[in-house]
Amino acid sequence: MRETLLIEQSKQGRKAYCFPPLDLPKGFQQALPPLPESIRREQPARLPEVSELDVVRHFTRLSTMAHGVDNGMYPLGSCTMKYNPKLSEHIAKMDAFTKIHPLQDVSTTQGSLSIMFNLLEDLSSITGMKWGTLQPCAGAHGEYTGLKMVKSYYEKRGETGRTKILIPSSAHGTNPASAMVNGFAVVSIGSNEKGQVDLEDLEAKLDDSVAAVMMTNPNTLGIFEQNILLISKMVHAHGALMYYDGANMNAILGMATPGEMGFDVVHLNLHKTFATPHGGGGPGSGPVMVNNTLRPFLPKPDILLTDSGYVLDWDGEDSIGKVSMFWGNFLVLLRAYVYILRMGSEGLRSASAHAVLNANYVAKRLCDVCEIPYGEQCMHEFVISLEEYRQNNGVRAQDIAKALIDKGYHPPTMYFPSLVSEALMIEPTESESLETLDAFILAFRSILAQAKEDPEYVKGAPYTTPVGRLDEVKAIKEPNLRY
């Protein structure tokens, strides 16, 4: 099955949509001058001219060439592809939320403001932090915001020499990139044999040029940093701050908080941990939570509860200012709020417990056929190395991943973190049942077996998709990025 571009289906004069006729007085319409020629556009843009049914069929067919959590297991490590509740989708379509303008008088938006206010309170409890902002639109945007606050904090203190961010080498790419866009230099910290932060290396690199240490805990190997309290103490002792990347928060909900671990600033990914849909890449939401120290630097406006209801507070001279156009991705916040209401305190804790249970179960069931470099005991995800398959059979991690597609599974995250060679990072999430996990394990093992018996077959996968593996070099050498 293939679907042509809609523009290729275009036919002059065909229409999928009509507007009501303009019903202003004739005289006015005739008298109304056009835009001055100097600023007037004359050339049309090439957009499809098709029927409504063409539009419907086009996107319906495209949807059949996509795979989401609703279609099958999606064990994409570090992305937490859990089930996105239908209730949240229903609520996010309510007119009372979709048809509210962000600049209406706050007396008319108390509903939306109360959801934001209460969501922030819940996220505070969950992270063990005191304050926060919902403005950032994604995880990386949260990092940007959090580090910007760190920057402002030191500027305010006059400690302008704090120009470095220490980041474990296994960190997500957004961490160093976010540090960079905020004008920090990035210094990498090594890992020890347990896959955790190398304390000696950390100690060696900690000095008064360090602004913050940015960590994910559990880290990207799915391993909990057991020395975290010690690390926080070391970092704070050097006057630096602790930044928590919430990408892996789904491992510890209700079990532990970044606040108790000593972190000063935390970003969350509502589209991971709080079950809002990923939408094919977004919109997400990346709230940032902080303790008292950083509160003055939070973006504007803050939401306050006053005697006359919720208000937007624009005061706060130390605020870093706005980080997005309005108040954040409200409809994503709404979905996350619905999820938290559903789960409640015990439900969130249970979600993490079962996410960890699932990961450990799969790891255990795979550990005899592939290497798990840092041991199979993990938190909510784990990383395997297929190096032996590469060396013995010429089959790479990518080949195994592609073969999973033919079995109906979305592949795990490939080649990350880079300290594991031929890595696949598997995160089942708590949404998957024992039966689904067993079926996945069976499929995975059968592919590994086939990789030994018939490596060429595996290297040619996938076979069941509309296209096979694509020529990525050609995509760059002969770029075709638009019709």
Partner 1 sequence: MIYPYIPHTDEDRKIMLEAIGLSSMEELFSGLSEDILLSDSVPISHGRTEDEVQRMIDSIAQRNVRGIPFLGCGCYDHIIPSTVEALSSLPSFVTAYTPYQAEMSQGLLQAIYEFQSMICEITSMDVANASLYDGANAASEAASLMVGAKRHASVVLVSSTLHPFTLQVLQTWAKGTGKSLRIVKEKDGVVDLSLLSSLLDSTCAGLIVQSPNRYGLLESYEGVAEILHEQKALFAISNDPLSLAMQKSPGQWNADIAIGDTQSLGLPLAFGGPSCGFMAVKEALLRKLPGRLVGLTEDGKGRKGFTLTFQAREQHIKRERATSNICSNQALAALMTTIHLSSLGWDGMLEAANQSYAKAHYLAYHLAQLPGMTLVWDKPFWCEFPLVFSDSKRLRKFMQELRNEGIFAGVRLSTLTRKVKDELVLLVAVTEKRSREELELYLAAARRVMK
* SS3 of residue 166 by DSSP: strand
By the rule CB under 8 A, 138 interacts with partner 1: yes
CB of 434 to partner 1, least distance (A): 4
* Residue 405 binds to partner 1 (criterion: CB under 8 A): yes
User: Of residues 359-378, which lie at the interface with partner 1 (CB under 8 A)?
Assistant: 360-361, 364-365, 377
Is 347 strand, coil or helix? Answer: helix
Q: Residues 30, 96, 158, 317: which binds partner 1 (CB under 8 A)?
A: 96
| 335 contact choice in partner 1, a copy of itself, none (CB below 5 to 8 Å, kind-dependent) | none
Residues of span 334-353 touching partner 1 by CB under 8 A: 338, 340-351, 353
CA distances from 329 to 148, 174, 289, 335 (A): 20, 20, 16, 10
CB of 88 to partner 1, least distance (A): 8
C-beta closer to a copy of itself: residue 407 or 459: 407
Return d(Cα 222, Cα 77) in angstroms, integer. 9
The answer to whether 428 contacts partner 1 (rule: CB under 8 A) is no
Q: Does 295 bind partner 1 (CB under 8 A)?
A: no
Residue 146 contacts partner 1 per CB under 8 A: no
Residue count of the chain, please give it: 483
In the bound complex, what is the minimum distance in angstroms from residue 71's beta carbon to a copy of itself? 6
Using CA atoms, how far apart are residues 147 and 169, in angstroms rounded to an integer? 18
Structure tokens at 400: 């195994």
The DSSP code for 243 is: E
CA-based nearest residue to 421, from 442, 398, 444, 403: 398
Binding site for a copy of itself (CB under 8 A): 1, 9, 11, 14, 51-54, 56-57, 60-61, 64, 69-72, 83, 85-86, 408, 431-435
> What contacts 185, CB < 8 A, 6 or more positions away?
163, 164, 165, 179
Only segment of 198-206, 238-246, 287-295, 409-417 that touches partner 1 (CB under 8 A): 409-417
Q: Applying CB under 8 A, which of residues 133, 170, 182, 385 lies at the interface with partner 1?
A: 182
Cα–Cα–Cα angle for 68, 73, 75, nearest 5°?
100
Beta-carbon contacts of residue 153 (< 8 Å; ≥ 6 apart)? 241, 293, 294, 297
Question: Cβ closer to partner 1: 119 or 451?
Answer: 119
Q: Work out whether 8 is an interface residue with partner 1 (CB under 8 A).
A: no
Tell me whether residue 18 or residue 237 sits nearer to partner 1 (CB atom).
18
